[in-house]
């Protein structure tokens, strides 16, 4: 099993941004693998219960007191036995393709690539080092830069874009609030990524957070001071048409709209000057957040007792 090397992935991401990433650049591609057979194509189900993952049915996406593990936890356990930077076995590859058939957000786009899949690799993502899947193809594609890593490798987000795992809220029909917040976060993700590299943050160990001033306050401060929009609802109403939804990646500014490009670039400068990013340990931070929630709930219950 290959160990994750952050320097290799840093250089890989730089080549991708520079347009120099080709299939021959992939140094971690295994030389040999077992023969791959595409499983029969299944119908798209969408966000409907029960959710089917590896042949097992679940009533919930995430763990619940009533039903126990949900679809997401079951898939996470299956991924624990997959080898990093290795092609999936026929067993795992078949089930991953079944997931995509039934639940991938944009079934039409998925089915364009499906017949040409020759293998699937489980690896670490090019940006955030997150667990992800690379689908190898036997045909060249050039028309989907958001999904393609090379002309013969696609990287659709299995974990975040299958409707059996995540809520579809940040999608075409999402509320303005969630959609616009996602647009602005995407605008500065390279700044956050650069900070992760600078402080040697480890995937699964550290998280990057805004200190002193929250991301929300920075975004709304930008609306007030730069765009001169004081009302949050009005701000989100005006920004929403400047975005587009990219399958597997979420909402972002639409690069085909000149005004969207200018606002995105201006916000990047604004955020770069005002943001104070910090590296925190993942588990302690979440424990602290959980304790805060419990404390706030206890206070709320005291108030409700006298209503």
Partnered with residue 123 across adjacent β-strands are 132
Q: How far apart, in whole angstroms, are the C-alpha atoms of residue 4 and residue 23?
A: 19
3-state secondary structure 208-256: EEECCCCHHHHHHHHHHHCCCCCCHHHHHHHHHHHEEEECCCEEEECCC
What does the alpha-carbon distance between residue 174 and residue 74 come to, in Å, rounded to a whole number? Answer: 27
Backbone angles phi and psi of 47, in degrees to 5: -85, 70
User: Which pLDDT score is estimated for 177?
Assistant: 83
pLDDT at 228: 95
CA distance to 193, 256, 268, 277, per residue, from 214 (Å): 17, 29, 15, 10
What would the two tokens of residue 196 be? 């992760």
**Per-residue pLDDT in tens (0 to 9) along the chain, 307 residues:** 333 444 544 555 555 555 544 444 443 444 456 678 999 999 999 888 899 999 999 999 888 888 899 999 999 999 999 988 889 999 999 999 999 999 988 888 899 999 999 999 998 876 566 788 999 999 988 776 567 788 888 888 888 778 888 654 445 556 788 889 989 999 999 899 899 888 988 877 888 899 989 999 999 999 999 999 999 889 999 999 999 877 656 788 998 899 999 999 999 999 999 999 999 887 665 555 667 777 777 787 777 766 5
Give the pair of three-digit tokens for residue 270: 């604004």
CA 272 vs CA 13, 182, 194, 267: distances in Å: 21, 17, 11, 8
Q: Residue 16: its pLDDT value, please?
A: 53
- Say what the pLDDT of residue 47 is: 83
Alpha helices in the chain (DSSP H): 6-17, 71-79, 90-103, 107-113, 158-161, 176-187, 189-198, 215-225, 232-239, 258-274, 282-305
pLDDT of residue 248: 57
């Amino acid at each position: 099993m290959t160990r994750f090397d952050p320097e290799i992935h840093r250089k890989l991401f730089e080549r991708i941004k520079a347009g120099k990433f080709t299939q021959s650049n992939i140094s971690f591609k295994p030389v040999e693998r077992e023969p791959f057979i595409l499983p029969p194509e299944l119908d798209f189900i969408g966000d409907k219960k029960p959710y089917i993952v590896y042949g097992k049915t679940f009533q919930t996406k995430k763990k619940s007191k009533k039903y126990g593990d949900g679809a997401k936890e079951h898939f996470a356990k299956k991924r624990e036995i997959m080898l990093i930077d290795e092609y999936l076995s026929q067993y795992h590859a078949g089930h991953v393709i079944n997931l995509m058939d039934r639940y991938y957000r944009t079934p039409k786009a998925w089915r364009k690539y499906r017949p040409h899949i020759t293998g699937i690799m489980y690896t670490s993502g090019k940006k955030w080092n997150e667990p992800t899947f690379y689908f190898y193809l036997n045909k060249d594609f050039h028309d989907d830069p958001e999904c393609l890593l090379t002309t013969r490798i696609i990287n659709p987000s299995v974990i975040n874009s299958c409707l059996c795992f995540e809520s579809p809220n940040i999608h075409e029909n999402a509320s303005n609030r969630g959609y616009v917040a996602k647009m602005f976060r995407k605008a500065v993700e390279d700044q956050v990524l650069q900070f992760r590299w600078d402080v040697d943050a480890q995937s699964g160990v550290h998280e990057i957070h805004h200190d002193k001033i929250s991301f929300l306050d920075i975004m709304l401060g930008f609306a007030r001071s730069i765009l001169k929009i004081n009302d949050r609802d009005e701000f989100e109403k005006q920004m929403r048409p400047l975005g587009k939804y990219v399958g597997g990646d979420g909402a972002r500014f639409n690069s085909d709209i000149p005004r969207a490009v200018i606002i995105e670039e201006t916000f990047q400068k604004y955020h770069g000057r005002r943001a104070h990013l910090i590296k925190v340990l993942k588990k302690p931070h979440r424990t602290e957040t959980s304790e805060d929630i419990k404390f706030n709930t206890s206070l709320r219950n005291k108030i409700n007792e006298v209503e």
